[in-house]
């Protein structure tokens, strides 16, 4: 009987690759002398409750080799500055510690070191990665798949329901909701119990790594360091889990009442941790479901929160995945484009430059407070994000410029910037994406308006201004 070919994909591995969460970006044969499976961590910066790492571990156990986590720090991540790099480094420290506790090698390297060189150095049999639907990260993955000589899979690790289950975008949430609810029972479940490397499969080779006690941005001469780190958020899985615990204990029960009150801070404030993958949506959703089943919160409250966490968030990811122009005015809904162009020449009661907006120098104290919340704290309440974007639409020279300005400010200051949720939120507020036509009015046309007077009727706007405002 002939000996098995070590380069062929074993049946167990083929079954693993056939899961809806896994995308085979490059098929082919395994490296003949393969010594490990490499997990290229990028979006999902965590070493626990990480479906991509779980797939890497399962694959490594099938092949009887160790798994190695690799993270490559580059100096030119699109639209990033010192603020997100600082948060990222805090998260990497937690991931490194959690990986060590699971006896998994965690290697951080910096440019000019490359992933491809690392794969050769460790003789990787198979590469597993995570996914990011945004333009540049997706382009990196596709380019890498064309160059590699070993199989390369990516895992949709930061959604509850894998995006390829739907394989399309949806015009509004109520179109998406029935499809999502039909799929949730299959995926809103506990992760597999066998998520640890086999104890006999350990990496014995000493590998060079960058010490996370040093600054990962050292020597990045072109990095914008003017946007400083914040003290309102600390990156990492431990901070994310602690913040989730505080939310479950003291805020979730009143979420349905308080979620649209920016002055109360009644939301989870987990979006930066979701953006960096320090915690996964499945972890949060299962914790909320546990709170519901134990009677700590009502089913209605659970439904409201999960619609934000899963419904709106995963709708935004589908929007970015399937809309090439997600971060420009070109993504506008056809009806919105038509009505905004019809009103493009309407007189604007106020006009501001980009610099005035960035410095929160407008006549509107509520808008200024929202801008300061973002620039100082690295985060803005979701209700205020809608108002903030709509006012930029009202005050900018034209809709295309307004959209560009909102994206620049969002990505520059928000810790959860450069993210599908942010782009979808701007598109909803400004160009009718994921929304419907409203009542015709100057400047906005049929875009849903928001005014300071209407906001003051819904929450204590004076209190919010007091928290984040200052005299003009």
Fold that domain 237-322 belongs to in CATH? 1.25.40
- The pLDDT score that the predictor gives to residue 465 is 97
pLDDT by residue for the chain (472 residues), tens only, comes to 444 455 677 888 999 999 999 999 999 999 999 999 999 999 999 999 999 999 999 999 999 999 999 999 999 999 999 999 999 999 999 999 999 999 899 999 999 999 999 999 999 999 999 999 999 999 999 999 999 999 999 999 999 999 999 999 999 999 999 999 999 999 999 887 656 777 666 776 789 999 999 999 999 999 999 999 999 999 999 999 999 999 999 999 999 999 999 999 899 999 999 999 999 999 999 999 999 999 999 999 999 999 999 999 999 999 999 999 999 999 999 999 999 999 999 999 999 999 999 999 999 999 999 999 999 999 999 999 999 999 999 999 999 999 999 999 999 999 999 999 999 999 999 999 999 999 999 999 999 999 999 999 999 999 999 999 775 4
Q: For residue 76, what are the CA distances in angstroms to 73, 189, 418?
A: 9, 37, 13
CA distance 57 to 68: 9
- Beta pairing class for 67-73 and 105-110: parallel
Residue 257: other Cβ atoms inside 10 A: 12
Of the candidates 461, 465, 466, the residue with the CA atom closest to the CA atom of residue 261 = 461
Please tell me the CATH code under which domain 329-468 is placed.
1.10.579.10
**Contact, 318 vs 326, CB < 8 A?**
no
The whole-angstrom distance between residue 356's C-alpha and the CA centroid of its chain comes to 29
CA distance 312 to 316: 6
Sign of CA dihedral 328, 331, 332, 334: positive
**φ, ψ dihedrals at 152, nearest 5°:** -140, 120
| Start-to-end Cα distance in the chain | 84
**φ, ψ dihedrals at 209, nearest 5°:** -150, 155
Cα torsion 159, 402, 344, 381 to 10°: value is 60
299-304 own/partner pairs: CB under 8 Å, 24+ apart: 300/256, 301/252, 301/253, 301/255, 301/256, 304/255, 304/256, 304/259
- The pLDDT score that the predictor gives to residue 291 is 96
402-410 own/partner pairs: CB under 8 Å, 24+ apart: 402/329, 402/430, 403/328, 403/329, 403/427, 403/430, 403/431, 404/328, 404/329, 405/354, 405/357, 406/430, 407/327, 407/328, 408/354, 409/357, 409/358, 409/371, 409/374, 410/374
Of the candidates 55, 104, 84, the residue with the CA atom closest to the CA atom of residue 278 = 84
- CATH 3.40.630.30, applies to 11-157: no
Q: For residue 443, what are the CA distances in angstroms to 187, 333, 336, 425, 454?
A: 44, 16, 12, 19, 18
- The pLDDT score that the predictor gives to residue 197 is 75
CA distance 151 to 25: 8
Domain ranges of the chain: 11-157, 237-322, 329-468
- Tokens representing 45? 């910066």
Of the candidates 260, 306, 266, the residue with the CA atom closest to the CA atom of residue 285 = 306
Contacts of 40 (CB under 8 A, 6+ apart): 70, 71, 72, 115, 127, 128, 129, 130
């Amino acid at each position: 009987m002939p000996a098995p070919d070590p380069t062929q994909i074993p049946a167990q591995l083929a079954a693993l690759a056939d899961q809806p969460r896994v995308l085979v970006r490059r098929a082919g044969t395994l490296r003949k002398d393969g010594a490990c499976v490499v997990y290229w961590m990028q979006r999902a910066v965590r070493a626990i409750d990480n479906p991509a790492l779980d797939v890497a571990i399962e694959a490594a156990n099938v092949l009887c080799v160790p798994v190695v986590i690799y993270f490559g720090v580059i100096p030119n991540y699109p639209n990033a500055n010192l603020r997100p790099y600082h948060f990222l480094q805090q998260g990497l420290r937690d991931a490194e510690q959690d990986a060590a506790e699971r006896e998994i090698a965690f290697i951080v390297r910096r440019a000019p070191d490359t992933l491809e060189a690392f794969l050769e150095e460790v003789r990787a049999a198979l590469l597993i990665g995570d996914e990011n639907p945004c333009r540049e990260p997706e382009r990196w993955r596709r380019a890498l798949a064309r160059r590699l000589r070993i199989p390369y899979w990516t895992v949709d690790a930061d959604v509850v329901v894998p995006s390829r289950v739907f394989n399309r975008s949806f015009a509004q949430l109520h179109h998406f909701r029935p499809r999502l609810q039909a799929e949730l029972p299959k995926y809103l479940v506990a992760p597999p119990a066998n998520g640890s490397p086999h104890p006999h499969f350990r990496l014995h080779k000493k590998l060079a790594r960058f010490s996370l006690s040093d600054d990962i941005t050292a020597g990045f001469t072109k990095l914008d360091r003017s946007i400083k780190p914040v003290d309102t958020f600390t990156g990492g899985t431990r901070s994310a889990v602690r913040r989730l615990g505080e939310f479950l204990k003291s805020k979730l029960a009143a979420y349905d009442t308080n979620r649209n009150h920016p002055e109360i801070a009644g939301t989870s404030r987990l979006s930066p941790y979701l953006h960096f993958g320090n915690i996964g949506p499945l972890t949060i959703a299962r914790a909320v479901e546990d709170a519901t089943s134990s009677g700590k919160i009502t089913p209605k409250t659970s439904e409201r929160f999960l619609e934000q966490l899963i419904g709106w968030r995963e709708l935004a990811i589908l929007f970015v995945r399937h809309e090439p122009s997600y971060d420009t005015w070109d993504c506008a809904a056809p009806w919105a484009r038509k009505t905004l162009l019809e009103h493009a020449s309407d007189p604007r009661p106020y006009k501001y430059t980009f610099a005035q907006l960035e410095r929160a120098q407008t006549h509107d104290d509520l808008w200024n407070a929202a801008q300061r919340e973002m620039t100082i704290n690295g985060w803005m309440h979701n209700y205020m994000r809608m108002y903030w974007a709509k006012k930029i639409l009202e005050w900018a020279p034209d809709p295309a410029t307004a959209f560009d300005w909102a994206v620049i400010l969002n990505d520059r200051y928000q810790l959860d910037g450069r993210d599908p949720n942010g782009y979808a939120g701007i598109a909803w507020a400004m160009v009718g994406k994921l929304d419907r036509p409203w009542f015709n009015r100057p400047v906005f046309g049929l875009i849903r308006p928001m005014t300071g007077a209407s906001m003051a009727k819904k929450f204590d706007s004076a209190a919010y201004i007091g928290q984040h405002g200052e005299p003009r």
